[in-house]
């Protein structure tokens, strides 16, 4: 099938809430089949965009198409092929996993009992919950609840899967299990992973966008974005007291505590000297450099120089 029949096309989408907050400002994205990371801080507009794609709210303007479906006008068609795992989703604590998933399968239109039993069993096994199928959801850990949410979202083989802040609050082992599960889903669907955790995107996504204050700051393939910072990121470990002076002198993009001292990463096109060493960039450097505005300016300058 042609990739464009599988892709999600977002054009000039804007949303301003009644209190005057501009949640989305003229957003345009082309999201292909596979895992796509939408990366940005809390309050950047990610959840507003996810709810809009999930047909839960209307934008003020713009268009959204999923293959041949007009997302804003054909909501029922979208919902039939949509899997949505919101940031906060409630479970019925006294319901058993198998029973509740069976109930959701009926709501999704799987009315044949034998077919439904087959689907429920397959999804519980895929999400590694089969052994817990008779356990009440109130006794599930955070990671188990998230995996149950994925099982619900996968009912009906969705062509569009939206996962909003999925690993927040999970312990490291549960996070790995959950990310492994998500990585299997991108083979046949558009899977959008909305998160503020850079590692989630770097480990899973072949394409990404960075969003802040309702605007797309950068759209890229993570590998290429990292390559674009080669030779531009420098590191130095300093005492905390040195930071204010460094901030006046350098374009600091991030600081991290390490054994009581501070690891400073800066963006510089020339050797800054002063004890800084060149380091191999990673996606976290891309994120912080983009948020600070340096990466975007660099890309725009390169594009400007390339034009005759």
CATH number at 84 reads 3.40.50.300
Query: What is the model's pLDDT at position 180?
Result: 82
Instruction: Note whether 81 and 177 are same-domain residues.
Output: yes
What is the average pLDDT across 92-118? 91
pLDDT digit string, tens, across residues 13-23: 999 999 999 99
Instruction: Note whether 244 and 146 are same-domain residues.
Output: no
Residue 3 has pLDDT above 80, yes or no: no
pLDDT digit string, tens, across residues 125-144: 988 899 999 999 899 988 88
What is the average pLDDT across 36-50? 92
Instruction: Note whether 99 and 139 are same-domain residues.
Output: yes
Residue 49 has pLDDT above 50, yes or no: yes
Query: What is the model's pLDDT at position 23?
Result: 95
Instruction: Note whether 50 and 182 are same-domain residues.
Output: yes
Instruction: Note whether 283 and 147 are same-domain residues.
Output: no
Cα–Cα distance for residue pair 281/219, rounded to 1 Å = 18
Q: Name the phi and psi angles at 263, rounded to 5.
A: -90, 120
Lowest-confidence region among 19-28, 99-108, 140-149, 229-238 = 140-149
Instruction: Note whether 147 and 257 are same-domain residues.
Output: no
pLDDT digit string, tens, across residues 151-166: 888 888 889 999 888 7
Q: Which of 154, 188, 220 is the last residue of a domain?
A: 220
Q: Centre a 10 Å sphere on the Cβ of residue 282 and count the other Cβ atoms it contains.
A: 16
Residue 303 has pLDDT above 50, yes or no: no
Q: Domain range spanning residue 234?
A: 226-306
Q: How confident is the model at residue 31 (pLDDT cuts 50, 70, 90)?
A: very high
Q: How confident is the model at residue 221 (pLDDT cuts 50, 70, 90)?
A: very high
Q: How many domains does the chain have?
A: 2
What is the average pLDDT across 280-289? 95
Instruction: Note whether 230 and 200 are same-domain residues.
Output: no
Query: What is the model's pLDDT at position 295?
Result: 55
Instruction: Note whether 58 and 108 are same-domain residues.
Output: yes
Instruction: Note whether 122 and 264 are same-domain residues.
Output: no
95, burial (CB in 10 Å: exposed 0-12, middle 13-18, buried 19+): middle
Residue 308 has pLDDT above 50, yes or no: no
Query: What is the model's pLDDT at position 97?
Result: 93
Residue 122 has pLDDT above 70, yes or no: yes
Instruction: Note whether 272 and 187 are same-domain residues.
Output: no
Instruction: Note whether 38 and 62 are same-domain residues.
Output: yes
Q: Which of 220, 237, 271 is the last residue of a domain?
A: 220
Average pLDDT, the chain: 87
- By C-alpha distance, which of 113, 152, 96, 300 is closest to 218? 300
Residue 300 has pLDDT above 80, yes or no: no
Query: What is the model's pLDDT at position 229?
Result: 94
Instruction: Note whether 186 and 39 are same-domain residues.
Output: yes
List, as one string, the DSSP characters of 87-106: SS----TTSBHHHHHHHHHH
Q: Which of 173, 188, 220 is the last residue of a domain?
A: 220
| pTM for the model | 0.84
Encode 187-196: b = buried (16+ Cβ within 10 Å), e = exposed.
eebbbbbbbb
List, as one string, the DSSP characters of 18-66: TTS-EEEEEEEEEE-SEEEEEE--TTSSHHHHHHHHTTSS--SEEEEEE
Give the distance, in angstroms, between the CA of residue 303 and the centroid of all CA atoms in the same chain.
27
Query: What is the model's pLDDT at position 1?
Result: 36
């Amino acid at each position: 099938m042609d990739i464009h029949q599988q892709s999600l096309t977002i054009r000039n989408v804007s949303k301003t809430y009644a209190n005057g907050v501009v949640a989305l400002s003229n957003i345009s994205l082309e999201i292909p089949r596979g895992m796509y990371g939408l990366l940005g801080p809390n309050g950047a507009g990610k959840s507003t965009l996810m709810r809009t794609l999930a047909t839960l709210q209307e934008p003020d303007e713009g268009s959204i198409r999923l293959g041949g479906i007009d997302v804003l006008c054909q909501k029922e068609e979208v919902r039939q092929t949509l899997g949505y795992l919101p940031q906060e989703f409630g479970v019925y604590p006294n319901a058993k996993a198998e029973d509740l998933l069976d109930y959701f399968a009926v709501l999704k239109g799987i009315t044949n009992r034998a077919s439904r039993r087959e689907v429920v069993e397959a999804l519980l096994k895929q999400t590694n919950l089969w052994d817990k199928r008779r356990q009440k959801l109130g006794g599930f850990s955070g990671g188990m609840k998230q995996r149950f949410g994925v099982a619900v979202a996968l009912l009906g083989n969705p062509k569009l899967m939206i996962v909003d802040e999925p690993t927040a609050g999970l312990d490291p082992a549960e996070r790995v299990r959950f990310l492994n599960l998500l990585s299997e889903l991108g083979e046949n669907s558009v899977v959008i992973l909305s998160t503020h955790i850079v590692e989630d995107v770097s480990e899973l996504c072949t394409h990404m966008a960075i969003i802040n204050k309702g605007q797309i700051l950068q759209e890229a393939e993570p590998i290429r974005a990292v390559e674009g910072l080669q030779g531009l990121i420098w590191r130095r470990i300093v005492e905390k007291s040195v930071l204010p002076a460094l901030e006046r002198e350098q374009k600091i993009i991030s600081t991290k505590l390490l054994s009581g001292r501070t690891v400073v990463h800066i963006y510089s096109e020339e050797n800054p000297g002063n004890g800084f060493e060149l380091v191999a960039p990673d996606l976290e450097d891309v994120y912080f450099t983009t948020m600070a505005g340096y990466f975007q300016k660099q890309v725009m300058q390169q594009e400007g120089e390339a034009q005759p």
